[in-house]
Amino acid sequence: MARSARFSVFSRGQLAVLALLAATPLLDLAFPSLQLSAPMRTVIVYAIVALGLNIVVGWTGLLNLGMAAFMAIGAYAFGILTSEIYPFQVGFWWGILLAALIGAFAGWLLGAPTLRLRGDYLAIVTLGFGEIVQDGLKNLPAITKGTEGINPLPAPTLLMTELSGETPARWFFVYLAILAAVIFLCRNLEFSRLGRQWFAVREDELAARCMAIEPDKAKLKAFATGAALAAMAGGLYASLLSSTGEPSTYDFQVSILALCIVIVGGIGSITGVLVGAIVMVGLNNVLLPLATQSLQRAGIGSTGNVLSSPDNYKYLLFGLALVLMMRFRPDGLVHSRKAVRR
């Protein structure tokens, strides 16, 4: 169906992807050795980052190379707000919510003075911001514990009981529910007045201005919303690790991975971004480690030989995936607005 003709909570494609994700714990039941639920939580975390980036890059047309910085801000905000070493201890759910709000504030702070820059210049600012945040976190040990990271951090609570690593399926479903909520919110924005402003600014900024739209305001909202989602994902990631990790966990490669997810999946399409996250992060965090494990079990991959470990080929595969996508499907695996391009 064409965009905006009718409105439902989820599109068919989004429902299909959510159903697919919901089936992974079943796989665990069938093949207990796989243990997919645990690494699939990471897929969901990156899907949320990429949904945030999709608002900025896909819908508003701004290149943001610093999503990892907002993820780091979210992770550390979650860490500081929930860790036992600090007095706040707000718990998982408030921690996630506040991390998202703090992320939005950070995005707004970065965006307000810089969003008037055009194209590549904005990309450079976001790139620099990513490095500054990493260095800042590293050099504020009194607050962030430097390279140790803040830990331990709480797992999600469900019906007053805290989940643990022993029940990865439940934990996975909590994250999946959060992802579903995020998709719902993104979809609301996509079809709203604000979504239209974003698309208009992306397609033709001058024409949008002549329709009395203020591009600066629309861009700032997109930037802050994207940052909020990245920060929320950062909080979920920290909860999953039970630690904020060290600041370099959120380096440039994370920002690039988020961008790859959006581009490979289908820029501008929520379903596409979800598929992209499953493909890219699934490859990175599920398939490659699994392949390495099984090779080792079969006695082929000796630990000494770097070439025989599939894990070491991941950047080669990412690069290859990008090149192939650009050559054969520049719009991504899932086209945005199929109906419109018909």
Partner 1 sequence: MTEASLISVRGVTMRFGGLTAVKDVSVEVPRGAITAVIGPNGAGKTTLFNAITGVYEPTEGSVLVSGRDPRRQLTPSVVAGTVLTGIATALFLAALVRIEAHWTAAVLDLHEYQKPFPWGKSAGAFLSSLFGGGLAGTVLPLVVGFALGVAGRLVIWSRTRRTPDVVAGSGVARTFQNIRLFPELSLVENVTVGMDRRLRTGFLPALLALPSALAERGSARAEALKLLEFVGLADKSEEAAGNLPYGHQRRLEIARALASRPDVILLDEPAAGMNPTETVDLMRLIRAIRDQGTTVVLIEHHMRVVMGISDRIHVLQYGEKIAEGTPAEIRSNPRCIEAYLGKEELG
Chain residues binding partner 1 by CB under 8 A are: 2-5, 7, 85-87, 109, 113, 116, 140, 142-143, 185, 188-189, 191-197, 199-200, 203-204, 206-216, 221, 337, 339-342
CB of 108 to partner 1, least distance (A): 11
The neighbour count for residue 207, using CB atoms within 10 Å, is: 11
CB of 70 to partner 1, least distance (A): 17
Cβ proximity of 76 and 150 under 8 Å: yes
**The tokens of 178 are what?**
């959060």
CB of 197 to partner 1, least distance (A): 7
CB of 214 to partner 1, least distance (A): 5
| Bridge partners (DSSP) listed for residue 161 | 158
Q: Is 81 exposed, middle or buried (0-12, 13-18, 19+ CB in 10 A)?
A: buried
Cβ proximity of 231 and 71 under 8 Å: yes
Q: Report the residue number, 251 or 331, with the smaller CB distance to partner 1.
A: 331
280 contacts: CB under 8 Å, gap ≥ 6? 46, 257, 260, 261, 264, 265, 318, 321
- The packing angle between helices 252-265 and 270-281, to 10°, is 120
Q: Report the residue number, 129 or 172, with the smaller CB distance to partner 1.
A: 129
- The packing angle between helices 270-281 and 314-328, to 10°, is 150
Rounded distance, CA 65 to CA 104, Å?
A: 16
CB of 17 to partner 1, least distance (A): 20
Kindly calculate the radius of gyration of the chain based on its CA atoms and give it in whole angstroms: 20
CB of 124 to partner 1, least distance (A): 19
Q: Report the residue number, 109 or 300, with the smaller CB distance to partner 1.
A: 109
Q: Which amino acid is at 320?
A: L
Cβ proximity of 129 and 242 under 8 Å: no
Q: Report the residue number, 106 or 261, with the smaller CB distance to partner 1.
A: 106
Q: Report the residue number, 206 or 307, with the smaller CB distance to partner 1.
A: 206
Q: Report the residue number, 147 or 188, with the smaller CB distance to partner 1.
A: 188
**The tokens of 124 are what?**
């450079």
Q: Report the residue number, 209 or 314, with the smaller CB distance to partner 1.
A: 209
CB of 310 to partner 1, least distance (A): 39
